[in-house]
Amino acid sequence: MKGLQLLATGGALPGRVVTNEDLRRQVDTSDEWITTRTGICQRYYCTENEDAATLAITAARQALTRSGLAANDIACCVVATLSAPTATPSIACRVQAALGLPENRPAFDVNAACSGFIYAAAAAHGLLSTLGGRYALVIGSEALSRMVDPTDRTTCVLFGDGAGAAVFELAENAPFAVTLGARGSEAIRAGGPAACDTAPITMDGRAVFRFAVEAMPRCLQAVLDRSQKTLSDLDWVVCHQANSRIIDHCVKSLHAEPSKFYKNISRHGNTSAASIPIALHEMAESDLLRPGQTLACIGFGGGLTWGGMLLTYEGGK
């Protein structure tokens, strides 16, 4: 079976840093309240001239450059987002135009909220397997600051903006496994692009926490079982960065080594579909990712949705 392996990453963060102290002046909250409950210290917000599409283009261009490939090598472009500036053209189509990707290749957005990057990678794997081609560009990009109620202290402290991109290669006998799922629920709800001002993100925090601490270990175990590997075979576990306590709970329930679970939530907050690829890019930039390492990526979030993926990193050569 042919599987995906990660060749290169890219990232983009918007120009405005918003600290917990900034939010304390906006709503009835405190740095202590936010950090002890979420692990978040700051997040990034888009400036007036930035949105999920501009961030995606920047991250995608960097990933393509670092892969050493040409635009013509990319067989498909899939973008995970729930905060596209327009329903159409999609962000993926904007990326296609900006990077000069071939016009006879598929480009589209998917929305599985915080699980979106895993869904997008699975879609790219299917496209490469059925339509042909060797390389896929997969992006997670969000501008969630434009979808929150700035007066709702239960949600406005959580979310941030950013984008991460990955170039994947379809390779023979590459270790690979994926699992996806959904359970229709309005525990997390957000209005569509046309309703961002009138239907901001709402969330039943307790319900989401209960869901996440059950879904994440189950997802991880599913990809381990499908790939016939164990937790000790993994070099890294890269989870959706929603809440530091959720990741800690997963580590404890699995009796896992905490150092295998990458965290960057303190710097970025919850960036939904962008959180996993942003983390991968940071890890590649800091040389934490090494060629031949085995990774598990686990996403969970609105929908409710979940997804897990096991693959190898082959970049940096």
Residue 317 has pLDDT above 80, yes or no: no
Looking at residue 205, its pLDDT comes to 86
Q: From residue 7, give the alpha-carbon distance in Å to each of 18, 42, 212, 250.
A: 32, 30, 29, 28
In the prediction, which pLDDT does 187 show? 81
- The whole-number pLDDT of residue 237 equals 97
Please say if the pLDDT value at position 194 is more than 60.
no
For 175-190, what is the mean pLDDT? 90
Under a CB-based contact definition with an 8 Å cutoff, are residues 176 and 313 in contact? no
For the question of residue 264 being annotated catalytic, the response is: no
What are 6-56's pLDDT values in tens digits? 999 999 999 999 999 999 999 999 999 999 999 999 999 999 999 999 999
Confidence grade of residue 1 (pLDDT, cut at 50, 70, 90): confident
Q: What is the pLDDT of residues 90-124, one digit of tens each?
A: 999 999 999 999 999 999 999 999 999 999 999 99
Q: Which of 77, 93, 219, 240 is catalytic?
A: 240
Confidence band for 189, pLDDT divided at 50, 70 and 90: confident
Q: How confident is the model at residue 197 (pLDDT cuts 50, 70, 90)?
A: low
Question: Has residue 200 got a pLDDT over 90?
Answer: no
Q: Is the pLDDT of residue 226 over 70?
A: yes
Please determine, for residue 199, whether its predicted confidence score (pLDDT) is greater than 80.
no
Segment 230-248 shows an average pLDDT of 95
pLDDT-based confidence at 164, cuts 50/70/90?
very high
Q: Active-site residue among 77, 270, 281, 297?
A: 270
Sign of torsion, CA 53 55 59 61? positive
Cα–Cα distance measured from residue 189 to residue 194, given in angstroms and rounded to the nearest whole number: 14
High-pLDDT (> 70) share of the chain, %: 97
Whether the Cβ atoms of residue 149 and residue 158 lie closer than 8 Å to each other: no
Q: Is 199 exposed, middle or buried, given 0-12, 13-18 or 19+ CB atoms closer than 10 A? A: middle
List pLDDT tens digits, range 240-278. 999 999 999 999 999 999 999 999 999 999 999 999 999
Residue 240 annotated among the catalytic residues of the structure: yes
| Chain mean pLDDT for the chain | 94
Span 183-210, average pLDDT: 77
List the catalytic residue out of 93, 114, 239, 250: 114
Confidence of residue 193 (pLDDT cuts 50, 70, 90): low
pLDDT of residue 192 exceeding 70: no
Distance (Å, rounded) from C-alpha 241 to C-alpha 261?
11
**Tokens found for residue 41:** 């210290």
The mean pLDDT of 213-228, rounded to a whole number, is 94
181 pLDDT band, cuts 50/70/90, is very high
Helix (H) or strand (E) holding 164: strand 161-172
